[in-house]
Amino acid sequence: MNQFMDWITQPWPWYVAGPLIGLTVPTLLLVGNKTFGISSSLRHACAICVPAGIPFFTYNWKKEMWNLMFVLGVLIGGFLATQFISNPNEIVIAEQTKADLNAIGISSFSGLMPSDIFTWSNLFTAKGLLFFVIGGFMVGFGTRYAGGCTSGHAIMGISSLQWPSLVATIFFMLGGFLMTHLMMEPLMKLVGF
């Protein structure tokens, strides 16, 4: 049992984890003609909670319950992995990335998240407003505007040879590069980092 736990808590190489994620697509298609994506679950949750009358939320959401169960499984799996089988080693970050993060005031990590930003004490500050509220709105708006999230487009869309998904994924990456290399430092200074 200890060998299994040692094996499962170590980071898996890309050539194992990537194909396992990739096999989700044909499995979902073959088993139930379902498509992979996470952002659509928010629409389903809103359709359940929002009274009828809004055309975007008026559809047979019960047919999509599998998607909500999938997301619930992701949340439970993430919780279990974090609490019981997380890798005890410090996250490995390239030295240049550490230097770049230190230059904008990010020096410590808690798991995968920079603890200088993602703390309860930052939630009701200018940093919290920028990262959680405005950032969350931009991600949600972008996801809806692009017709899906990165997992839906990059994993499902590209693997099923959908041209719009390739375009969306390219622009997701360009947006990430633009934010990281041109906008991150000025924004961090703006909110007091």
pLDDT for 91-116, tens place per residue? 778 888 888 888 777 777 776 777 77
| Beta bridge partners of residue 113, listed in sequence order | 110
Q: Is the pLDDT of residue 191 over 70?
A: no
C-alpha distances in Å from residue 151, one per residue of 21, 117, 182: 10, 24, 25
- pLDDT for 121-151, tens place per residue? 877 887 778 878 888 888 888 887 778 888 7
The β-bridge partners of 114 are 109
Averaged pLDDT of the chain: 81
Confidence at residue 1, expressed as pLDDT on a 0 to 100 scale:
67
Contact criterion met (CB below 8 Å) for 166 and 187: no
Closest by Cα among 141, 143, 136, 144 to 172? 143
Q: 0.75 cut: is pTM over it?
A: no
pLDDT tens figures, 44-93: 888 888 766 788 788 888 888 888 998 899 899 988 887 887 766 777 78
DSSP secondary structure of 64-104: GHHHHHHHHHHHHHHHHHHHHS---SPPP--HHHHHHHHHT
Report domain extents, the chain.
1-86, 94-193
Contact 133, 147 (CB under 8 A): no
Q: How far apart are CA 62 and CA 162, in angstroms?
A: 27
- Higher-scoring residue by pLDDT: 176, 76: 76
- Residues 5 and 136 sit within 8 Å (Cβ to Cβ): no
Looking at residue 73, what is its pLDDT? 92
Burial 6-20 (b: 16+ CB within 10 A, else e): eeeeeeeeeeeeeee
Contacts of 142 (CB under 8 A, 6+ apart): 175
Choice between 173 and 159, residue whose per-residue pLDDT is larger: 173
List CB contacts of 37: < 8 A, sequence separation 6 or more: 67, 148, 149, 151, 152, 156
